[in-house]
């Protein structure tokens, strides 16, 4: 232990380098994991914040974000008549692209009836849309595109006035915007169009029972939690492979850096290791010295890396507020385990040269 | 300079583990950036496939709609005849379009569903590998990959647009990372939407010799409340959508790749210099100037980065060949601009990575070589 510590701290730059290597790697892994979680949380923000435990969609559609749902005419009335239905929020949703300053951006446009609910849950400025040419948009999007309440914005073939700003409404492909349901009906040239119904069960009915009761032809009835899970699956198809790839790269780089530093430290101390061998130390003792060095570097690096991830996450959210980074204790646990693994793998790199070391080397000129 | 290079090369090659770690690290970091660029370029290519293969010279959409991906466009059905009457228009075909889920057994997949009028000569499937190449009522043509995955074939029934349709044809080249394209009859699509007299896009073929841009402007001038774009402009808008909406993610990943590459190269060059302190001391004692030694260090950094760049490029090149075979619908495309950017990254990394060891060499005491014992 003493040997390991002395070996490691003798050259401060080298020690700092190995710590920096682990810290970069750990910080990167945590940041990516937090970013992924943030993407998922943002994706379910609307459903999480809108009342209702059961979602009614077009037959065959089981997600909220990925497709355009069109309910059969009369579905809303049919649902309202089912016993055990406490409240129905009808909405029309459509993804639209708008352009400001020569840059394209997306709105997940929600049409709702202010009396029924389903509108912005965190209105930070202005008011809800009262007329057909009015719009509530996300605060971050408004700031990025320099839009203030009272300004107008082209949406499809309409010019609409922004009357309010909402918060917590950004997501991976733009942000959520709100308009009256009649606005969406006329924008999409479909009078009476309904995309989804969010249904709340009466107190004496469980959501599962209500779901089974809502057998309206041409519709798909799901628990809200299942719809959220399906949206995540859709996102995972696009997001998980690149993020997984980057986590793997960060991990390999961490192992490489720590391994290299310890390897060099070992090579340079060959003489000393030889001497220790010559006075009777087993290979195993030497391995331990190397492994402890790797563990110390990994432990310090992990602490710094966690700090780095929080700092980078905060900086990222300040730079681009549409990104959300959620670093959870569980992720830190995983990272601790992976840094331990990094240290063990890194210690393997110099292990071979130690095993081959001749005790006699110490006596050579 | 050749002595410098020789020293640098020897210094690098002396320790194989270190060389592999250094080159591998740089290669990983650079391919991170390269592969990501290639993925986005590939996705952009896939997005425009339908536009490119539809056979239309001009796309007419609801005013303000300049894209196809994920959006909605709804025009009164009467627009088709008005467009047909515009000089320079040889042919006009209306289509209906929506992003929907197709269900076959347990398999459900997001699809762009196109409603095609009977006898449509534009906008239909361009490579039908099995079955019919046109659809009637109650029929659908789906992507071959989707059918294979779902275990369905011609004659089987799928759920689409809230109803059912029988597969009559399988098409190729109609799948991307997130969705495939499916074709149903115009009448089915319209009935599902409550029978409202609307169309999504009008596909236009221009008269021989007419320019698509000119005809597009003429359509916009003569028919109110719509947007008309040449197919080339429409495809360009679609590519811009991917780039604009992923620009921030790409720049974050670029920063990460850059930092990782920098850390790895700086460390390996530093360690290589450290291990050769004695030799550098000898050179100094023999009268070598600091600048000569700097050059050796810099040459080492440049060499390992250049090697790393080559390996990273080869690796990404390999990915572009292998990934499309994986059946994910993912396609990669390495662009010239991306190569230049990553090359510049690599150069900057080499320069920055050399700073630390250069300082070390400059503070080196030539007398170190005469001391006995290990060097720290």
**Which of A93, A107, A109, A123 minimizes the C-alpha distance to A198?**
A93
The predicted complex's ipTM stands at 0.74
Q: By CA distance, what is B63's nearest residue in A?
A: A157
Interface test with A, best of B105, B158, B162, B322 (most A CBs within 10 A): B162
Of B36, B110, B194, the CB nearest to A190: B194
Model confidence band, residue B376 (pLDDT cutoffs 50, 70, 90): very low
Partner A contacted by B220 (CB < 8 A): no
- Here the tokens at position B360 are 């070390």
**Residue pLDDT, tens place only, B307-332:** 888 998 998 888 888 877 776 667 78
Partner A contacted by B70 (CB < 8 A): yes
Partner A contacted by B122 (CB < 8 A): no
Give dist(CA B70, CA A262) in Å, integer: 52
pLDDT of residue B375: 43
- Sort out which chain B residues have CB atoms less than 8 A from A236's CB and list them: none
Residues 6+ apart with CB under 8 A from A152: A159, A160, A161, A162
CB B364 within 8 A of CB B285: no
**Cβ neighbour number for residue A137 with a 10 Å cutoff:** 30
* Contact state of A97 with B35 under an 8 Å Cβ cutoff: no
- Sort out which chain A residues have CB atoms less than 8 A from B75's CB and list them: 189
* Contact state of B264 with A253 under an 8 Å Cβ cutoff: yes
Partner B contacted by A260 (CB < 8 A): yes
- Here the tokens at position A187 are 């924008």
What burial letters (b/e) apply to A282-300, b meaning 16+ CB within 10 Å?
A: eeeebbbbbbbbbbbbbbb
**Residue pLDDT, tens place only, B7-46:** 777 777 777 767 777 787 778 778 877 887 887 788 777 8
Does an H or E element contain B240, and which? Answer: helix B231-275
Which region, left, alpha or beta, applies to residue A298 given φ > 0 means left and ψ of -120 to 50 means alpha?
A: alpha
Of A28, A62, A156, the CB nearest to B64: A156
pLDDT of residue A360: 63
Q: Assign A147 to helix, strand or coil.
A: coil
- Here the tokens at position B175 are 């799948």
Q: How many CB pairs under 8 A join A and B?
A: 184
Residue B5 to chain A, least CA–CA distance (Å): 23
The one-character DSSP state at B209 is T
Interface test with B, best of A9, A107, A256, A319 (most B CBs within 10 A): A256
What burial letters (b/e) apply to B151-174, b meaning 16+ CB within 10 Å?
A: ebeeeeebbbbbbebebbbbbebb
* Contact state of B65 with A63 under an 8 Å Cβ cutoff: no
- Here the tokens at position B142 are 């789906």
Residue A333 to chain B, least CA–CA distance (Å): 22
Alpha carbon separation from B369 to A64, A207, A341, B357, B360 (Å, rounded): 71, 80, 39, 18, 15
Of B28, B70, B76, the CB nearest to A252: B28
Give the residue with greater pLDDT, A345 vs B114: B114
Partner B contacted by A21 (CB < 8 A): yes
* Contact state of A256 with B71 under an 8 Å Cβ cutoff: no
The one-character DSSP state at B178 is S
% of chain B at pLDDT higher than 90: 37
**Residue pLDDT, tens place only, B115-124:** 999 988 899 9
Partner B contacted by A265 (CB < 8 A): no
Q: Assign B210 to helix, strand or coil.
A: coil
**Which of B214, B267, B250 minimizes the C-alpha distance to A255?**
B267
Q: Assign B69 to helix, strand or coil.
A: coil
- Rounded (5°) CA angle A249-A252-A256: 135
The one-character DSSP state at A36 is H
Residue A58 to chain B, least CA–CA distance (Å): 6
* Contact state of A60 with B192 under an 8 Å Cβ cutoff: no
* Contact state of B110 with A66 under an 8 Å Cβ cutoff: yes
Partner A contacted by B62 (CB < 8 A): yes
Mark the ranges of chain A whose per-residue pLDDT is less than 70.
1-11, 238, 242, 261, 264-265, 267-269, 359-365
CB B188 within 8 A of CB B115: yes
Residue A50 to chain B, least CA–CA distance (Å): 23
Give dist(CA A197, CA A190) in Å, integer: 17
Give dist(CA A335, CA A254) in Å, integer: 12
- Here the tokens at position B237 are 């808008």
CB B183 within 8 A of CB B143: no
* Contact state of B263 with A66 under an 8 Å Cβ cutoff: no
Alpha carbon separation from B233 to A262, B59, B124, B148, B208 (Å, rounded): 57, 9, 20, 34, 19
Partner A contacted by B254 (CB < 8 A): no
pLDDT of residue A1: 64
Q: Assign B375 to helix, strand or coil.
A: coil
- Sort out which chain B residues have CB atoms less than 8 A from A313's CB and list them: none
What burial letters (b/e) apply to A209-229, b meaning 16+ CB within 10 Å?
A: ebbebbebebbbbbebeebbe
**Strands B198-199 and B107-116, how do they pair?**
unpaired
Interface test with B, best of A55, A188, A194, A253 (most B CBs within 10 A): A253
* Helix segments in chain A, DSSP class H: 2-10, 12-43, 45-49, 75-80, 139-144, 181-187, 207-213, 224-268, 270-278, 283-319, 329-355
- Sort out which chain B residues have CB atoms less than 8 A from A63's CB and list them: 101
CB B99 within 8 A of CB A66: yes
What burial letters (b/e) apply to B347-357, b meaning 16+ CB within 10 Å?
A: eebbeebbebb
Reported in sequence order, the residue ranges of chain B that DSSP labels E, i.e. its strands, are 58-62, 75-76, 89-104, 107-116, 128-131, 139-143, 157-160, 163-171, 180-185, 198-199, 201-206, 226-230
Of B28, B102, B193, the CB nearest to A249: B28
pLDDT of residue A7: 65
Partner A contacted by B270 (CB < 8 A): yes
Give backbone dihedrals phi and psi of A230, rounded to 5 degrees, phi first.
-70, -40
Does an H or E element contain B250, and which? Answer: helix B231-275
Q: Assign B223 to helix, strand or coil.
A: coil
Residues 6+ apart with CB under 8 A from A226: A62
Residues 6+ apart with CB under 8 A from A21: A253, A254, A256, A257, A258, A261, A301, B263, B267
CB A185 within 8 A of CB A94: no
**DSSP for A87-111?**
EEEEEEEEEEEEEETTEEEEEEEEE
**Residue pLDDT, tens place only, B216-256:** 999 999 998 899 999 999 999 888 887 777 767 777 777 77
Rounded to the nearest integer, the mean pLDDT of chain B is: 84
Partner A contacted by B74 (CB < 8 A): yes
- Sort out which chain B residues have CB atoms less than 8 A from A94's CB and list them: 71-72
The one-character DSSP state at B316 is H
CB A158 within 8 A of CB A133: yes
Of B103, B194, B376, the CB nearest to A73: B194
Specify the long-range contacts of residues B11-15, CB closer than 8 Å, at least 24 apart. Answer: B11/B272, B11/B276, B11/B296, B11/B300, B12/B272, B12/B300, B12/B303, B12/B304, B15/B272, B15/B275
* Contact state of A268 with B374 under an 8 Å Cβ cutoff: yes
**Which of A284, A309, A293 minimizes the C-alpha distance to A260?**
A293
pLDDT of residue B372: 52
Give the distance, in angstroms, between the CA of residue B202 and the centroid of all CA atoms in the same chain: 28
**Cβ neighbour number for residue A122 with a 10 Å cutoff:** 12
CB B193 within 8 A of CB A190: yes
Give the residue with greater pLDDT, B78 vs B276: B78
Give the residue with greater pLDDT, B127 vs B274: B127
Residue B274 to chain A, least CA–CA distance (Å): 9
pTM of the entire predicted model: 0.79
- Sort out which chain A residues have CB atoms less than 8 A from B225's CB and list them: 157
């Amino acid at each position: 232990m003493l040997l390991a510590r002395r070996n490691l701290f003798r050259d401060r730059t080298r020690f700092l380098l190995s710590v920096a290597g682990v810290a970069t790697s750990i910080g990167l892994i945590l940041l990516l994991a937090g970013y992924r979680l943030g993407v998922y949380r943002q994706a379910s923000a609307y459903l999480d914040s809108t009342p209702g435990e059961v979602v009614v969609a077009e037959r065959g559609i089981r997600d909220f974000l990925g497709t355009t749902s069109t309910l059969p005419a009369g579905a809303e009335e049919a649902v309202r008549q089912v016993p055990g239905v406490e409240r129905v929020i009808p909405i029309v949703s459509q993804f639209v692209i708008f352009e400001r300053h020569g840059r394209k951006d997306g709105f997940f446009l929600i049409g709702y009836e202010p009396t029924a609910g389903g509108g912005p849950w965190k209105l930070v400025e202005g008011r809800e849309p009262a007329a057909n040419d009015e719009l509530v948009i996300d605060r971050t999007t408004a700031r990025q595109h320099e839009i203030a309440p009272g300004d107008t914005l082209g949406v499809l073939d309409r010019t609409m006035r922004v009357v309010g700003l909402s918060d917590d409404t950004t997501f991976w492909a733009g942000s959520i915007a709100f308009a009256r349901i009649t606005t969406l009906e006329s924008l999409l040239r479909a009078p009476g169009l309904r995309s989804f119904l969010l249904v709340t069960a009466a107190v004496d009915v469980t959501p599962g029972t209500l779901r089974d009761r809502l057998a309206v032809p041409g519709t798909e009835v799901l628990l809200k939690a299942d719809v959220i899970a399906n949206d995540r699956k859709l996102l995972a198809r696009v997001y998980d492979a690149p993020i997984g790839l980057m986590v793997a790269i960060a991990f390999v780089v961490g192992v490489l850096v720590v391994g290299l530093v310890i390897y060099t430290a070992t090579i340079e101390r060959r003489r000393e290791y030889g001497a220790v061998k010559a006075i009777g130390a087993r290979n195993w003792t030497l391995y331990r010295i190397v492994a402890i060095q790797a563990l110390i570097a990994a432990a310090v690096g992990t602490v710094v890396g966690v700090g780095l991830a929080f700092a980078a996450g905060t900086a990222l959210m300040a730079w681009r507020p549409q990104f959300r980074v959620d670093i959870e204790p569980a992720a830190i646990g995983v990272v601790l385990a992976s840094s331990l693994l990094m240290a063990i793998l890194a210690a393997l790199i110099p292990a071979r040269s130690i095993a081959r070391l001749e005790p006699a080397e110490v006596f050579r000129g | 300079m050749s002595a410098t290079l020789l020293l640098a090369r020897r210094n690098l090659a002396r320790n194989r583990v270190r060389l592999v770690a250094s080159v591998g690290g740089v290669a990983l970091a650079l391919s991170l950036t390269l592969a990501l660029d290639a993925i986005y370029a590939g996705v952009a290519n896939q997005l425009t496939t339908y536009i490119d293969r539809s056979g239309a010279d001009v796309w007419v959409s609801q005013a303000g709609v300049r894209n196809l991906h994920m959006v909605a466009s709804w025009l009164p059905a009467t627009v088709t005849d008005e467009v047909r009457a515009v000089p320079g228009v040889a042919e006009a075909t209306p289509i209906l379009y929506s992003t929907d889920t197709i269900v076959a057994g347990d398999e459900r997949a997001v699809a762009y569903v196109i409603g095609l009028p009977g006898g449509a000569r534009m906008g239909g499937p361009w490579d039908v590998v099995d079955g019919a190449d046109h659809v009637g009522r109650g029929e659908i043509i789906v992507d071959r990959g989707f059918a294979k995955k779902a275990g369905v074939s011609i004659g089987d029934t799928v759920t689409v647009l809230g109803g059912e349709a029988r597969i009559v044809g399988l098409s190729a080249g109609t799948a991307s990372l997130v969705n495939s394209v499916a074709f149903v009859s115009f009448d089915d699509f319209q009935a599902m939407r409550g029978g409202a007299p609307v169309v999504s896009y009008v596909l236009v073929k221009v008269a021989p010799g007419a320019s698509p841009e000119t005809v597009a402007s003429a359509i916009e001038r003569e028919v109110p409340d719509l947007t008309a774009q040449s197919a080339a402009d429409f495809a360009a808008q679609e590519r811009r959508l991917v780039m604009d909406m992923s620009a921030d993610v790409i720049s974050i990943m670029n920063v990460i790749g850059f930092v990782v590459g920098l850390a790895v190269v700086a460390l390996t060059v530093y360690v290589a210099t450290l291990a050769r302190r004695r030799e550098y001391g000898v050179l100094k004692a023999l009268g070598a100037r600091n600048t000569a030694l700097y050059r050796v260090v810099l040459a080492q950094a440049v060499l390992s980065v250049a090697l790393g760049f080559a390996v990273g490029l080869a690796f990404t090149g390999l990915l572009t060949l292998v990934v499309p075979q994986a059946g994910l619908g993912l396609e990669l495309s390495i662009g010239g601009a991306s190569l230049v950017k990553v090359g510049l990254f690599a150069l900057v990394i080499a320069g920055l990575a050399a700073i630390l060891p250069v300082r070390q060499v400059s503070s080196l005491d030539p007398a170190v070589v005469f001391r006995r014992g290990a060097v720290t």
